[in-house]
């Protein structure tokens, strides 16, 4: 595996290339449903300010803004931040392991398909940052791919350089999230609910995700609990073997 800083540089180059190519996939039904549910929660708790960590080209930022929220997109790549800003929404460059927000300053945090690119050695730092910037009792929605434990550089890629993926089994996700807050909800979903085209590499080596990786989409809300600073709920969808 590459050093963490190099993995981030690779991600920036990949997503800059993706942005330059004009790739902007639509949100699938699972992601759409999860955001709608999260927005309903924010309305019910009268929360107006949400930060999207790992916002990509800003599809979720747009969804929050269209529903009346003050949404800010944060992304590692300047190209994606430029796309969000060009669409008329606030955006900032930053890393999930060093978020440029004051502690307890965010009424809600949303991050989808971001932690799957954070290596295991930095996962605690990333989750710690999400909790740090969240105001007491603020909901945090987390989404990632996983289903089984595997970490490496994937051979399957549309752009160069290939990205690092860190897949985590459901049980390990539960254990990890529980160290940062009580788990409010943990769901699993089948691939057809995701609505995305998912490729399973053939290799079982350290460069291709194993065919049987059963990559889920994990989505979690980490919100306030009575005796913990956060509570969490999660959902996941797995690819077929």
Listed in sequence order, the residues at least 6 apart from 184 whose beta carbon sits closer than 8 Å to its beta carbon are 221, 222, 223, 225, 231, 232, 233
In-domain check, residue 202: no
Q: At 2, is the pLDDT very low, low, confident or very high (cuts 50, 70, 90)?
A: low
How far apart CA 206 and CA 169 sit, in angstroms, is 17
In-domain check, residue 149: yes
How far apart CA 11 and CA 18 sit, in angstroms, is 10
User: What is the reported pLDDT for 157?
Assistant: 86
Least confident range from 66-70, 76-80, 155-159, 185-189: namely 185-189
Count of other CB atoms within 10 angstroms of residue 160: 10
In-domain check, residue 25: yes
Mean pLDDT across the stretch 114-134?
95
Query: Has this prediction a pTM greater than 0.85?
Result: no
In-domain check, residue 80: yes
Q: Report residue 125: phi and psi, to 5°.
A: -65, -40
The first and second tokens of residue 176, run together, are: 């990890």
In-domain check, residue 136: yes
In-domain check, residue 59: yes
Number of domains the chain is built from: 1
User: What is the reported pLDDT for 190?
Assistant: 58
pLDDT of residue 117 exceeding 90: yes
Question: Coil, strand, or helix at residue 18?
Answer: helix
Taking only the tens place, the pLDDT of each residue in 127-140 is 999 999 999 989 89
Taking only the tens place, the pLDDT of each residue in 28-69 is 888 898 999 999 999 999 999 999 999 999 999 999 999 999
Residue 136 burial class via C-beta count within 10 angstroms: exposed 0-12, middle 13-18, buried 19 and up? exposed
CATH number of the domain that residue 52 is part of: 3.40.50.150
The first and second tokens of residue 15, run together, are: 């997503």
Please give the residue range of the domain that contains residue 90: 4-196+211-237
In-domain check, residue 201: no
Taking only the tens place, the pLDDT of each residue in 199-213 is 322 222 333 433 333
In-domain check, residue 145: yes
Q: Which helix (H) or strand (E) holds 42?
A: helix 29-44
More confident residue, 230 or 196: 230
The first and second tokens of residue 165, run together, are: 């993926």
């Amino acid at each position: 595996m590459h050093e963490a800083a190099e993995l981030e540089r690779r991600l920036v180059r990949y997503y800059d290339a993706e942005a330059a190519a004009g790739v902007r996939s639509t949100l699938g039904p699972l992601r759409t449903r999860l955001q709608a549910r999260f927005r309903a929660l924010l309305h019910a708790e009268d929360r107006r300010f949400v930060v999207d960590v790992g916002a990509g080209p800003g599809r979720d930022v747009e969804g929050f803004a269209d529903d009346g929220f003050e949404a800010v997109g944060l992304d590692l790549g300047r190209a994606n931040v430029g796309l969000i800003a060009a669409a008329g929404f606030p955006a900032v460059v930053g890393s999930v392991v060093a978020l440029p927000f004051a502690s307890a300053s965010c009424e809600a945090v949303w991050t989808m398909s971001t932690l799957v690119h954070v290596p295991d050695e930095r996962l605690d730092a990333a989750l710690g940052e999400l909790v740090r910037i969240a105001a007491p009792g603020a909901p945090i929605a987390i989404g990632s791919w996983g289903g089984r434990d595997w970490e490496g550089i994937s051979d399957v890629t549309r752009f160069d350089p290939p990205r690092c993926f860190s897949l985590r089994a459901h049980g390990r996700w539960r254990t990890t999230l529980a160290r940062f807050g009580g788990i409010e909800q943990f769901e699993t979903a089948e691939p057809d609910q995701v609505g995305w085209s998912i490729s399973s590499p053939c290799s079982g080596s350290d460069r291709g995700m194993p065919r049987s990786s059963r990559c889920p989409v994990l989505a979690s809300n980490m919100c306030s609990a009575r005796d913990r600073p956060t509570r969490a709920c999660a959902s996941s969808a797995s690819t077929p073997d």
